[in-house]
């Protein structure tokens, strides 16, 4: 029974010294697990008198119970100190890295949402177009000077990468019956030199409204509503007379430069304005090419440049930044 006392003392000493949960696990195995000596002590009871057996039997049970209680107590203490040392809840949290939408696509979807809220539906058109849809049906015959402004990348004879989203006007008219309001987003390609405001590939959104009674007033009201919702009340908009072979009358629409506030800077060519779109009333000849009776319907159309609008919205100075794949630039638009 001397050994029992020593066993108990060494347990008390060791449990106080245990400073980690792994020390604790070792002690649990040694004192109450398979390696413990309780079986050995109980076996020794046989050698004692009935009276001693009763006393020591009780003592063994009591010490074993106390050992288990002390182990549990120490376990809770060690658990809370280890938790504290592993997680410092006073430090700021770690944020995971996530990708983001490209600013041009973000703007595209934003614009589409505004037009959808005005009752427009979203349609699509092919990026590889025929010369008929890209030019002829839009009143631009082979020798027309307007083709010079939209030099393109030609593929097989008669096919090219579309230079604007306007060919979708014809495709939509062939597909739908008036009245309708559509917007068609997509990539366009031109043989334009890469500079601060031009890129050889860019995005446009075409708008087309066809019904019986459509006037220039409908076009102006729609575009003003869009500009106010997208840029805010403080931005100015101006309509300039313009020319497109497929609209009559035609207009160029500008928005005041967001980089310089209209004073003039490199990104607006020192004019204070940035052209965002071309627009006009659909030319009767275009209706005829699409198989409509031009006496029966009227319509307005517009085509806006998504990159230019993104630059205006965020004050981006150079269109080339969109396509340089600089993560530091792109991750600034992780706004959701």
Least spacing, CB of residue 279 vs ligand FA5, in Å: 5
Least spacing, CB of residue 276 vs ligand FA5, in Å: 5
Among residues 307, 240, 314, the alpha carbon closest in space to that of 279 is found at 240
Least spacing, CB of residue 147 vs ligand FA5, in Å: 12
Which is nearer to ligand FA5, 36 or 294 (by Cβ)? 294
For 137-278, where are the alpha helices, taking DSSP H only?
146-149, 167-175, 216-231
- Where residue 76 falls (left for φ over 0; alpha for ψ -120 to 50; beta otherwise) is alpha
Kindly list the residues in this chain that would bind ligand FA5 in the complex (CB under 6 A).
164, 166, 190, 192, 198-199, 202, 204, 206, 244, 247, 275-280, 301-303, 305, 307-308
Which is nearer to ligand FA5, 18 or 251 (by Cβ)? 251
Name the residue with the smallest CB distance to ligand FA5.
Answer: 305
Least spacing, CB of residue 98 vs ligand FA5, in Å: 29
- Where residue 261 falls (left for φ over 0; alpha for ψ -120 to 50; beta otherwise) is left
Cβ-in-10-Å burial (0-12, 13-18, 19+) of 65 comes to: exposed
Least spacing, CB of residue 87 vs ligand FA5, in Å: 51
Which is nearer to ligand FA5, 64 or 198 (by Cβ)? 198
Among residues 216, 218, 217, 236, the alpha carbon closest in space to that of 228 is found at 236
Backbone angles phi, psi at 201, to 5 degrees: -125, 130
């Amino acid at each position: 029974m001397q050994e029992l006392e020593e066993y108990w003392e060494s347990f008390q000493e060791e449990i106080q010294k245990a400073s980690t949960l792994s020390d604790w696990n070792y002690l649990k195995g040694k004192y109450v697990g398979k390696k413990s000596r309780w079986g050995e002590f109980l076996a020794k009871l046989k050698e004692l008198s009935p009276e001693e057996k009763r006393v020591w039997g009780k003592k063994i049970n009591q010490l074993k119970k106390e050992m288990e209680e002390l182990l549990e107590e120490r376990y809770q203490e060690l658990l809370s100190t280890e938790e504290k040392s592993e997680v410092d809840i006073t430090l700021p949290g770690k944020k995971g890295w996530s990708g983001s939408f490209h600013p041009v696509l973000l703007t595209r979807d934003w614009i589409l949402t505004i037009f959808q809220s005005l009752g427009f539906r979203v349609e699509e058109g092919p990026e590889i177009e025929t010369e008929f849809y890209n030019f002829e049906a839009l009143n631009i015959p082979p020798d027309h000077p307007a083709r010079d402004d939209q030099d393109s990348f030609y593929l097989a004879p008669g096919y090219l990468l579309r230079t604007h989203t306007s060919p979708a006007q014809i495709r939509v008219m062939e597909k739908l019956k008036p009245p309708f309001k559509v917007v068609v987003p997509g990539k366009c390609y031109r043989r334009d030199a890469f500079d601060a405001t031009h890129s050889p590939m860019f995005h446009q959104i075409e708008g087309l409204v066809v019904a019986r009674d459509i006037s220039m007033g409908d076009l102006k009201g729609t575009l003003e509503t869009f500009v106010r919702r997208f840029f805010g009340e403080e931005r100015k908009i101006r309509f300039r007379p313009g020319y497109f072979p497929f609209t009559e009358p035609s207009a160029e629409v500008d928005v005041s430069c967001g980089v310089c506030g209209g004073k003039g800077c490199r990104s607006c060519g020192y004019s204070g304005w940035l052209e965002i779109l071309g627009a006009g009333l659909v030319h009767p000849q275009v209706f005829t090419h699409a198989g409509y009776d031009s006496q029966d319907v009227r319509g307005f159309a517009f085509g806006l440049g998504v990159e230019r609008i993104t630059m205006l919205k965020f004050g981006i100075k150079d269109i080339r930044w969109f396509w340089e794949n600089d993560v530091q630039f792109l991750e600034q638009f992780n706004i959701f």
